[in-house]
Structure 1
Amino acid sequence: MQFHTLNEALSFNRSEARFVTFINGQEDEKCISFEALYQRALGLLRVLQQHGISKGDHLILFLNDNQQFVDVFWACQFGGIIPVPLAVGISDQHRQKVFNVARQLGGARFLYTDRKNLSRLRSSTSTSSDWPQPGQVLLSDDITDITTPGEMARVEPGDVAFIQFSSGSTGSPKGVVLRHRNLVSNIEGIRECAAMSPEDISLCWMPLTHDMGLIGFHLSPVVNNYSHCIMRTDLFVRRPLYWITAASQKKATMLGSPNFGFKHFLKAFNRRGLEGIDLSRIRLIFNGAEPISVSLCRQFTDAMAGFGLPAKSMFPVYGLAEASLAVSFPEIGAALDVVHAHRNSLSVGADAVLSPQRGPDTVSLVGVGEPITHCSVRISDPQGNAQPEGRVGHIRICGKNVTEQILGDDGSIFDGDWLDTGDLGFVLHKVLYVTGRYKEVLFVHGQNYYPHDIEEVLCETGELELGKVVVAGVSSRQDEMEEVLVFILHKGTLQDFLPLRSRVIAMVSESLAIEVRHVIPVGRIPKTTSGKIQRSALAGEYLDGTYDDILQRLAGELDRADTDEEEGPQSEIVNAILAVCQDALPDRRFSIHDNLLEIGADSLALVEIHSGLDDLYPDALAITDLVEHPSISDLAKFLQSRDSVV
């Protein structure tokens, strides 16, 4: 069936035979039919309309609850209201993003949230905005009756379906405007190129504020008429093994995750294992949203092979919000397509030189297939001219699925019908290989962060100056995961640098909940003749080993500082905590006085530490206790005071 709008798709596919299951906990699920989803959305639309929200108005969605999100998203679709999903997050920076987006939208803009999140918004220390006024807020807690349907608006293919803002960046977020015609075209292409059918069942833990979570694992199932399961992201973070357990229980045929999800799962699996799992029904595991790690793909499929996972189920894909999600898919049932390219042959304009095997001077790249239906890909030089096969250039896309408008962008990424993705790559035998990024965006835990946003956070206190602190991202030498580096112009001694290093790690961890791999003192900041900072030059020097010596000397200074801090023999509990922390963050050195919130322990690492301690001391502490007792010594004293531990 060919649809022209999302509304038309749900209206046609509404039935009691297809379901969306919300997995909120191991013993907490709610299953509703597409028919019930349709009726609930219409009832909620009436509530929105009674509140004065009408077609064309913006409604910011700031919710943790997936069912509440889905209900209001579809209510907006039926009313021609434009939903603007934003991640709740854990930091004040995430809350500031809500105000930044509201300011950027202008005009009639409303907020749909719950009482708890509204309280957090209003307690935000980083804004003096008078938005939202009481009449601009709807609280999901207060809505009890959605039995009376609202009035459907006339929605056209060219109308805006929703606006997707960049997932991680908070300072100057960019909003991708996605219209119904963009979305239904892309979802049709996804169906054709992934051979989806009503017999499929998908399961995903990615947030609905992320394009892969919303478009790939909710809108696509609804439009393509198959049942699906939406797992709370925080449940996956706390209990990663349950992702695969649930996939087995629900007889899922399709899963999806970026790199860090596989890594997080494997860490728990290698420690605890799984039993009684059957993955034989899984046919596709969509792997995207981050640069794809060859080693993680193989580790995951090898680890799950004993549970019946088909060897060729890993499905590496390429996409972005500007494309309404999907750009290219590989052939179904094909083996992982991996090439080994010499590092020095991957600059723009160079012909990629491939090696028959991996070596110290090569980069392993995963082929992400050919463009899907309705989308075209071109490799271009900086001036937009098409490049021949095998030559590295800018990845540009065009098609019915590609957005025509990005809020907060100056339009420079558009060249006629072609949109510059900001990524670099080459095409060989029609297969696309993504080599890196031209635009300076970091991928951390499946979210996007702009380096200049992180730099601004670091300069807020006045201790550091813009232009003298540089944030860059590199692919890890060990597992090809993204690492965040901070370079600081420093003329003093390494001993003087240590306190600044600690403060930088703490600021980034507390403000953005991401981990900094290294803080590196440098004697100069490379810039172009026009004064633009060359982040790629610093990142390249790091990968070439330029800073290995200074990092080794820094590690020595840290060891000496740790030795000076030791205070006598350590208790059994202290040693246990140290071991758990070391397991969660193997590249960090810990002393008993370390504050876990100040050494780069992001939210994911804190969950891992809590999980490890819970294994040793069941139910002895909540994850909030790690925040209230953040140092290892304080946490040990707290555990010592618990009767269940003594």
Structure 2
Amino acid sequence: MYKTVYDFIVDAENRDDKGITFINGSDNEVYISYAQLFEKSRKVLGVLQKKGLRKKDELIIQIEDNEQFIKVFWACILGGIIPIPLSVGYNEEHKQKILRIWSILNNPYCISDQRTLHSLEKVADAETYSSIVKQSIYLDEIKNSNEVGELISPKPEEIAFIQFSSGTTGDPKGVILTHKNLITNISALNEAWETSKSDSSLSWMPLTHDMGLIAIHLASTYKKIQQYIIPTSVFIRRPTLWLLKTHQHRVTQLYSPNFGYKFLLDNYKKNQIYNWDLTCVRLLANGAEPISTSLCQRFLEEMKQFGLKYETLNTVYGLAEATVAVSVPKLGNSFVPVTLNREALEVGQKIQKTVEEKKGITFVEVGPAVRHCSFRICDSNNYVLDDDFIGHVQIKGENVTSGYYNNESATKDAITADGWLNTGDLGFIHNNSLVITGRTKDIIIKNGQNYYSHDIERVAENVKDIELGNVVACGVPNETKAEEDLVIFVKCKQSYDITTAEKELKRELTKQLGLNVHQVIPVRKIFKTTSGKVQRSKMKDFYKELILS
């Protein structure tokens, strides 16, 4: 039906029956129809073009307000401008990331509020800051725009936008997403989720995250279904608002990574009366980080009293390099846990199922590949492995990026000689369904055996008062021993007895996994991305700085 993202945004011009409701509290909602959004976006485009932006210029979008963000993003798509969505942050490291991205781009502009733009002065050199100021647009400038911009229709193979990684360490890599990539994956995702005009979506995910922007906002816009968007900051303050609004608006599609399900359960009071009716929900997508089967079961069990059906949970897998989605289980089937012997999880090994709790680690099936995408499993020499053998997950298809923006070296490293993209994940194929076992970079090697960080963390959570998301396991290189030391970070309050916890942690990990813990470090903060994904590299850097000091 559509060939470009531009096509389905232009199609919004005459759609005034549905749109987006921006939810900022229990009694604070603003509805804007698709037609109104299109009209407002054209006026924003008028301002951008008046400021000198032309086709193929890049625009860094640093906007916290969801309505303003969408209007600017749509304006870019309508005018052939390449949007670069980036989350807003005020620490020095985040500002340095903005500067590194600025240096990668060809002819960059930036749009944000005055506070955000002026904060860059403290970290940028005079020349860079001067160029940013010259090519900046303040949000105030687009609020009262009246002159509509010139629409510029793109070709399917042209760049729609650049998705930079949500992490804040190292050199940022911008994933190139063409209109064809996006249309291919969005239509495949809507097909897998059986999205129809009677559906509605509700999200608290950041619009700077591929799940929030592509899998939810753009996929919903493609189908012109009613959307409800809660700012992430509002969800953090009041997570139960998510399900209250689901009940009130009879929403059919919900989405969240592990973080959201756990955060809601942690703030949900069992002795309080919630008059929710969640029988309307037919899709509850879980993705964007390793999926905890115990958390899924706990959430579904707790929400059963409100009519949430067990089979609504859809455990999915994707990454920015695939646009967003790689695999989706068949809708309506219960999610499938797979328990394996943790001593047989190395690349090239055949999986060994087990029922022994001490030996077992549980993963979850994330379904067959979505339409126009393929996956395969390879060993470390790039030889394709049979089903039920663990290896490197590689993907190929019309949804898969051609590479990283202005970064030939990273592109060459990611794409194999025969044209497959290495995801950096490990897993295996079972009954045509993909199972992800972990990230290559999150493996900790001890005594010649591979251990997954998240497996160690799940065992650590058996210790009293240590919860999901509050413990991080990292392997830190020890040059003297020529192996990695296991360091455990525990988020705790000042009154927490870390000495007792350390003893119990070491005992539990030795008993269950035969591992010796080098050090347990109490921390007040665990570094995470905006979607709640743990940033292990930053935790390692923190540890190195701690040792040096």
Distance 1:125 1:358, change over 3 A: farther
In angstroms, what is the RMSD of aligned CA positions? 3.1
Q: Does 1:363 align with 2:288?
A: no
CA contact (8 A) 1:241 1:274 kept: no
Q: Which residue of 1 aligns with 2:340?
A: 341
Take 1:254 and 1:38, find their aligned partners in 2: how far apart are those partners?
A: 24
Find the partner of 1:376 among 357, 374, 381: 374
Take 1:114 and 1:272, find their aligned partners in 2: how far apart are those partners?
A: 43
Q: Which residue of 2 aligns with 1:558?
A: none
CA contact (8 A) 1:88 1:95 kept: no
Take 2:325 and 2:345, find their aligned partners in 1: how far apart are those partners?
A: 24
Take 2:89 and 2:78, find their aligned partners in 1: how far apart are those partners?
A: 28
Take 2:64 and 2:233, find their aligned partners in 1: how far apart are those partners?
A: 10
Superposed displacement of residue 331, structure 1: 1.0
Residue identity opposite 1:405 in structure 2: G
Residue identity opposite 1:215 in structure 2: I
Superposed displacement of residue 440, structure 1: 4.8
Question: Identity of counterpart residues, as a percentage?
Answer: 35
Take 1:174 and 1:602, find their aligned partners in 2: how far apart are those partners?
A: 20
CA contact (8 A) 1:99 1:131 kept: no
Distance 1:161 1:373, change over 3 A: same
CA contact (8 A) 1:186 1:325 kept: yes
Find the partner of 1:426 among 419, 428, 450: 428
What TM-score does the superposition give when structure 2 sets the normalisation length? 0.83
Q: SS of 1:10's equivalent?
A: helix
Q: Which residue of 2 aligns with 1:103?
A: 103
Counterparts of 1:428-507 in structure 2, within 5 Å, are 428-440=430-442, 473-475=453-455, 476=457, 477=459, 478=461, 483-485=472-474, 487=476
Take 1:127 and 1:368, find their aligned partners in 2: how far apart are those partners?
A: 49
CA contact (8 A) 2:365 2:433 kept: yes
Q: SS of 2:129's equivalent?
A: coil
CA contact (8 A) 1:13 1:223 kept: no
Take 2:31 and 2:476, find their aligned partners in 1: how far apart are those partners?
A: 49
Q: Which residue of 1 aligns with 2:186?
A: 187
Take 2:46 and 2:400, find their aligned partners in 1: how far apart are those partners?
A: 32
Q: Which residue of 1 aligns with 2:17?
A: 17
CA contact (8 A) 1:205 1:230 kept: yes
Q: SS of 2:422's equivalent?
A: strand
Distance 1:483 1:542, change over 3 A: farther
- 1:109-136 Cα offsets, whole Å, 9 max, x none, are 0001012222333344899843544320
Take 1:383 and 1:117, find their aligned partners in 2: how far apart are those partners?
A: 46
Q: SS of 1:406's equivalent?
A: coil
Q: Which residue of 1 aligns with 2:395?
A: 397
Q: SS of 2:227's equivalent?
A: strand
- 1:294-353 Cα offsets, whole Å, 9 max, x none, are 011011111111011112111100000101100101111111111111112211100001
Q: Which residue of 2 aligns with 1:547?
A: 516
Counterparts of 1:23-422 in structure 2, within 5 Å, are 23-105=23-105, 107-124=106-123, 129-130=128-129, 132-270=131-269, 273-355=272-354, 357=355, 359-407=357-405, 408=407, 409-415=410-416, 416-422=418-424
CA contact (8 A) 2:326 2:373 kept: yes
Distance 1:546 1:311, change over 3 A: closer
Residue identity opposite 2:263 in structure 1: H
Of 134-143 and 403-412, deviating more is 403-412
Find the partner of 2:525 among 560, 577, 600: 600
Take 1:123 and 1:341, find their aligned partners in 2: how far apart are those partners?
A: 51
CA contact (8 A) 2:319 2:326 kept: yes
Take 2:19 and 2:356, find their aligned partners in 1: how far apart are those partners?
A: 45
Q: SS of 1:432's equivalent?
A: strand
Residue identity opposite 1:81 in structure 2: I
Superposed displacement of residue 202, structure 1: 0.6
CA contact (8 A) 2:47 2:141 kept: no
Q: SS of 1:373's equivalent?
A: coil
Superposed displacement of residue 170, structure 1: 3.4
Distance 1:316 1:300, change over 3 A: same
Take 1:247 and 1:358, find their aligned partners in 2: how far apart are those partners?
A: 39
CA contact (8 A) 1:159 1:179 kept: yes
Take 2:26 and 2:443, find their aligned partners in 1: how far apart are those partners?
A: 35
CA contact (8 A) 1:92 1:125 kept: no
CA contact (8 A) 1:240 1:264 kept: yes
Residue identity opposite 2:414 in structure 1: I
Take 1:322 and 1:198, find their aligned partners in 2: how far apart are those partners?
A: 29
Q: SS of 2:145's equivalent?
A: coil
Superposed displacement of residue 541, structure 1: 9.2
Residue identity opposite 1:71 in structure 2: K
CA contact (8 A) 1:352 1:391 kept: yes
Q: SS of 1:302's equivalent?
A: helix
- 1:448-499 Cα offsets, whole Å, 9 max, x none, are xxxxxxxxxxxxxxxxxxxxxxxx94442237757243748699xxxxxxxx
Residue identity opposite 2:54 in structure 1: S
Take 1:376 and 1:121, find their aligned partners in 2: how far apart are those partners?
A: 42
Residue identity opposite 2:427 in structure 1: G
Distance 1:187 1:441, change over 3 A: farther
Distance 1:480 1:344, change over 3 A: farther
Q: Which residue of 2 aligns with 1:595?
A: none
Distance 1:259 1:405, change over 3 A: same
Take 1:243 and 1:22, find their aligned partners in 2: how far apart are those partners?
A: 12
Unaligned runs of 5+ in 1: 443-471, 492-500, 510-515, 521-539, 556-587, 589-597, 605-646
Superposed displacement of residue 221, structure 1: 0.5
Superposed displacement of residue 17, structure 1: 1.2
Q: Which residue of 1 aligns with 2:539?
A: none
Unaligned runs of 5+ in 2: 445-451, 462-466, 481-486, 503-508, 530-549
CA contact (8 A) 2:12 2:38 kept: no
Distance 1:48 1:378, change over 3 A: same
Residue identity opposite 2:472 in structure 1: E
Distance 1:160 1:602, change over 3 A: closer
Take 2:124 and 2:88, find their aligned partners in 1: how far apart are those partners?
A: 16
Superposed displacement of residue 383, structure 1: 2.6
Q: SS of 1:64's equivalent?
A: coil
Take 1:160 and 1:200, find their aligned partners in 2: how far apart are those partners?
A: 29
Superposed displacement of residue 545, structure 1: 4.4
Distance 1:547 1:490, change over 3 A: farther
Q: SS of 2:343's equivalent?
A: helix
Residue identity opposite 2:335 in structure 1: L
CA contact (8 A) 2:162 2:176 kept: yes
Take 1:315 and 1:271, find their aligned partners in 2: how far apart are those partners?
A: 25
What TM-score does the superposition give when structure 1 sets the normalisation length? 0.71
CA contact (8 A) 1:206 1:213 kept: yes
Take 1:213 and 1:68, find their aligned partners in 2: how far apart are those partners?
A: 15
Q: Which residue of 2 aligns with 1:531?
A: none
Take 2:221 and 2:308, find their aligned partners in 1: how far apart are those partners?
A: 26
CA contact (8 A) 1:96 1:126 kept: no
- Choose 1 or 2 for highest CA Rg: 1
Distance 1:25 1:359, change over 3 A: same
Q: Which residue of 1 aligns with 2:540?
A: none
Superposed displacement of residue 438, structure 1: 1.4
CA contact (8 A) 2:120 2:129 kept: no
Superposed displacement of residue 544, structure 1: 3.4
CA contact (8 A) 2:378 2:393 kept: yes
CA contact (8 A) 1:348 1:393 kept: yes
